[in-house]
Amino acid sequence: MKIIPIALNTFRESARDRALYNLMVFVILLIIASVVMGRIAVGQEVKIVIDLGLSAMTVFGVLMSIFLGIGLVSKEIENGAIANILSKPVRRTEFILGKYFGLCLTLFVSSVVMAAAITGALIYAQGGSDAAQWRLWPAAWLIFLELTIMTAVALLFSCFSSPALSALFALLIFLIGRWSPDLKLFAETSNSAAVRAVSRALYHLLPNLANFNYINETAHGEVAPWRMIAGNTVYAVCYIAAALAAAALIFNRRNFK
């Protein structure tokens, strides 16, 4: 299996990318700023720190997974590094999977860093340890799952379209995925059987990202129930597997001029 060396190398690439550090610094500054904002909104400190922290984590994480996810394959094709890899005893599928898991590792590490920063901000804001500081970790796990789904989607698009178009598609998928409950309502309430069938198919075909948004509930003191966490994890794993199978299917047939 060549997946592991390729994944580790991909992780090393992002670990040596200065842009990523700048982004992380920015997010952490934002989290620190949330403490100040929390001070202004008396009595709402915890809610504001969690809201702003987890939202920033989502937004920057999604941008990272889309843009780095697209670069995973398209950059290698563009600069010709793929020629070197394919001449070696490596399956194309192994290349795709290695690249994907490498970026997931990067996302995992940066998610942990961001969640730790939010926890730190809460400890400071609350002047000690509190249950709220643990509540945010299940929500952060859900955000991480959302990021891995978006990475798989971005990777899939980059296997058959240009980087700019892939970014556009992936952003659209993100927006629609976040509106998936509306799609479901639409599927259930439309009068036309055809519309119902199409929106139901879309509901299952597009990633259901609203599932992974537990920020507001967390900010209001709820803990994501383990059943929900488990269900979402299973859903994410299945959806990612399907997206990667599609990516491999396309990538295996592709020619590199």
Partner 1 sequence: MSVIEIENLTQDYQIGFWRKRNVRALDSLNLRVEAGEVFGFLGPNGAGKTTTFKILMRMLRPTAGEARILGQPLDDLRMRARIGYLPERPYFYHYLTAREFLVFCGALCDLPRDRAAKRAADLLDQVGLSDSADKHLRKFSKGMLQRAGLAQALINDPEVLFLDEPMSGLDPLGRREARELIANLRARGKTIFFSSHILTDVEAMCDRVAILNRGRLVESGRLSEILKTRSNEIEAVVSGVNEEILAELREFALEVQPTPEGARARLESDRDIARLLEVIHHANGRLVSVNPARESLEDFFMREIGGMK
Partner 2 sequence: MKRLTCPILLIVFLVLSAAAQDWMDARRRVPLAVKETLYVSSGESLKRASIGFDGLMADIYWIRTLLYFGEQFERQRGVNQQFDASQLELLEPLLNITIELDPRYIAAYRFGAVFLPEINSESAVRFVERGIRNNPGEWRLYQDLGFVQWRRNRFREAADAYARGSRLPGAPAWMRTMPALMLVKGGDRETAREMFLRLYRESDDPFIKQISEAQLKMLDQYRER
Binding site for partner 2 (CB under 8 A): 93, 181-182, 184-186, 188-189, 203-205, 208, 210-211, 216, 227-228, 231-232, 234-235, 238-239, 241-242, 245-246, 248-249, 252
Number of residues that bind partner 1 (CB under 8 A): 26
- Cα-based distances in Å from 181 to 128, 137, 151, 203, 204: 38, 24, 22, 8, 11
Q: Which of 28, 35, 82, 215 binds partner 1 (CB under 8 A)?
A: 82
Q: Which of 24, 63, 90, 176 binds partner 1 (CB under 8 A)?
A: 90
Quick check: 17 binds partner 1 (CB under 8 A)? yes
Q: Which tokens is 211 given?
A: 């599932």
- DSSP summary character for residue 223: -
Location of structure tokens 């809610």: 47
Instruction: Tell which residue, 107, 12, 25, has the closest CA to residue 67.
Output: 107
- 204 lies in the site for partner 1, by CB under 8 A: no
Amino acid 108 reads F
Stretch that binds partner 1, among 46-54, 122-130, 157-165, 249-257 (CB under 8 A): 249-257
CB nearer to partner 2: pick between 23 and 246: 246
Q: State the minimum distance, in angstroms, from the CB of residue 249 to partner 1.
A: 15
Regarding 21 and contact with partner 1 (CB under 8 A), the answer is no
CA distance 34 to 50: 9
- Looking at the Cβ atoms of 28 and 52, the one nearer to partner 2 is 52
Angle at alpha carbon of residue 104, lines to 54 and 90, rounded to 5°: 170
Integer distance in angstroms from the first to the last C-alpha of the chain?
27
Q: Which residues bind partner 1 (CB under 8 A)?
A: 2, 5-6, 9, 12-13, 16-17, 79-92, 253, 255-257
